[in-house]
Amino acid sequence: MKILLISPTVDTEKRTNKGLMMPQLALYILEGLTPPGHEVKIIEEEAEKINLDQECDLVGISCMTANAPRAYELCKEFKRRNKTVVLGGVHPTILPEEAEQYADCVVVGEAEGIWETLIYDFQNNKLKRKYHDPMPDLGKYVPKYFGKSIKNRLFNLVPILTTRGCPYDCEFCCVTNLYGKKIRHIPIENVVRDIQESESKNFMFLDDNIIGDSKYAKALFKAIKPLKIKWVGQSSVSLLVKDKELMELAAESGCRALFFGFESVVEEHLKSMRKTFNDLEHLENAIRKIKKRRILIHASMVFGFDNDTKDVFRKTVRFLIKNKICTVSFNVLTPYPGTKIYDDLKKQNRLTTTDWRYYDHNTVVFKPKNMTPYELQIGKVNARKKFYSLLSVLKRFFGNLYNPVIYFPMNYGHMKQVRVEAKRITKLKSALFENV
C-alpha cells in the first residue's frame, strides 16, 4: 500500500528553502510506526509542491491551527480523487469535531499505539471515524532513521523527543490539554539508541521542558554525555538555575543553547506565572548563571497580556539588550482553541477573527485591553526590528562571545526576516485591522 504523509503549508504562494527547515518529527514517527511492506512518502508542503494526482491509497495529514484551513482544503482535493484521508496533530486533537467534517478519519492525540491498528483497519475496510489512545506507551516511539532527509537541513539538526506532558497548564498554551499534566518519558536507552542510529552529532530536543522531571533529566544527561553530541532544547529557566547539578550536567552533556519562555518582563505578569521567576532581579541573575555555563539563550516573549500597556515594547527590548540575549522570538498573545485565554476572550467578545490561518503567534486576532489591535501588531514588529538592528546585534555579541558560530547566523536570519514581516503586516492591514 502507498501512504502519503503531509505537513501542509499556511500560504501556498510562499515556499521556504528546505535547508532552513527542520524535518517534521511527527511524520517520521508515523513512518517509523508503519508496519513493513508499505511504501511511505513524506511531503513538507512549506518547501515543496504537492502533486494531488499522485498514486496513493491513504493520505495522512498533520496540522496545527494555522495550517488547518490548508489541511482541510487538501482533504477536499484528495477525497475528490477518491483517496482516504486521515487528519492528526495539534488542531484535530483540540477540535476533532471540526476536523471530522473534512477527513474520513481523525486521530486525537498521539499516534503511538494507534497508527498500526488504523492501517490494519483501513486494509480490512473497517476504518473508524476517530481513534484515540489517551495514554500511549512511549516505549513504542520509533522515529524512522532520517537518512538523507536531514542532510543539508538546518545545521543538520536531528529532532528528538524524550518526554510528553506539562504540569503548568499556562492559560495561553494548549500543551497540557494535548498531552496531559503528567510528564511521561521515553526510556533513556531508546533515546540513546536513536541518537546513535541517526549518525548525527547535532540534536534538537523538542520537549516542552527538557528538565520538567529533573530526576529523569539528570539520568538522561549522564547517559548522553559519552556520545559527545551537541544539542539545543527548551527548558524552564527557574527549574534550571535552582539545581546546580542539573545545570552542570546539561552543559557537560553538550547543551549549546536553550529556548526559554520568559514571556514577559512586566512584573505584575511575572508574579502570576508558575514557570519562571516572579521578579526581574531573579531573572537577570538566572541569565548570568546560564551564560556562565556557555549556554546561548533564546528567549520567547509574548506581547498583548491584559497588563501590557504601550510601553511594554520599549521595556522588553531594553531588558533583552541589556542582558545580551542571543536571540528572541517576539510573539503576540494568541488565543489558540483549547486554551483558557481563548474561552475568556470569546466570552468577552474580543476575538477579531476565527480564520485559523492567522492563529500563528505572529498576527493579532483579538482586541487587547490597553491598545488597539494594530498598535499591538506594529509594536511587536518594531520591537523585533529594534532588537535585530545592527547596533543591537553588535552590542549583544559581547555577551555571547563563546559561540559566534551560532550567534551570527541566527541573528542574521532574524535580521532578514524582520523586513519580510513588516511587508506582510502592511498587506494584512486592510483585511484585519481597519474595522477594529
Handedness of CA 42, 45, 46, 47 (dihedral sign): positive
Q: Are 287 and 273 in contact (CB under 8 A)?
A: no
| Contacts of residue 101, Cβ cutoff 8 Å, sequence gap at least 6 | 72
Binding residue (CB under 6 A) for ligand B12 from 31, 112, 213, 263: 112
Cβ-based neighbour number of residue 397 at 10 Å: 15
CA atoms within 13 A of residue 24's CA, in its CB half-sphere: 21
Cβ-based neighbour number of residue 434 at 10 Å: 8
Q: Are 373 and 364 in contact (CB under 8 A)?
A: yes
Binding residue (CB under 6 A) for ligand SF4 from 161, 166, 178, 328: 166
170 binds, among ligand B12, ligand SF4, none (CB under 5 to 8 A by kind): ligand SF4
Task: Name the one range near ligand B12 by CB under 6 A: 55-63, 245-253, 303-311, 370-378.
Answer: 55-63
> For residues 7 and 392, which CB has a smaller minimum distance to ligand B12 in the complex?
7
Binding residue (CB under 6 A) for ligand SF4 from 173, 211, 301, 320: 173
Q: Please give the residue whose beta carbon sits closest to ligand B12 in the complex.
A: 88
Element (H, E) at 380: helix 373-387
Binding residue (CB under 6 A) for ligand B12 from 24, 276, 323, 400: 24
- 145 binding ligand SF4? (CB under 6 A): no
Binding residue (CB under 6 A) for ligand SF4 from 44, 104, 110, 208: 208
Q: Are 204 and 157 in contact (CB under 8 A)?
A: yes
Q: Are 199 and 151 in contact (CB under 8 A)?
A: no
Binding to ligand B12 in span 225-264, by CB under 6 A: none
Distance between CA atoms of 341 and 174, rounded to whole angstroms?
10
88 binds, among ligand SF4, ligand B12, none (CB under 5 to 8 A by kind): ligand B12
Task: Kindly list the residues in this chain that would bind ligand B12 in the complex (CB under 6 A).
Answer: 22, 24-26, 29-30, 46, 60-62, 64-66, 86, 88-91, 107, 110-112, 115, 159, 161, 173-175, 178, 206, 208, 336, 360-362
Contacts with ligand SF4 by CB under 6 A lie at 166, 168-170, 173, 175-176, 208, 261, 275
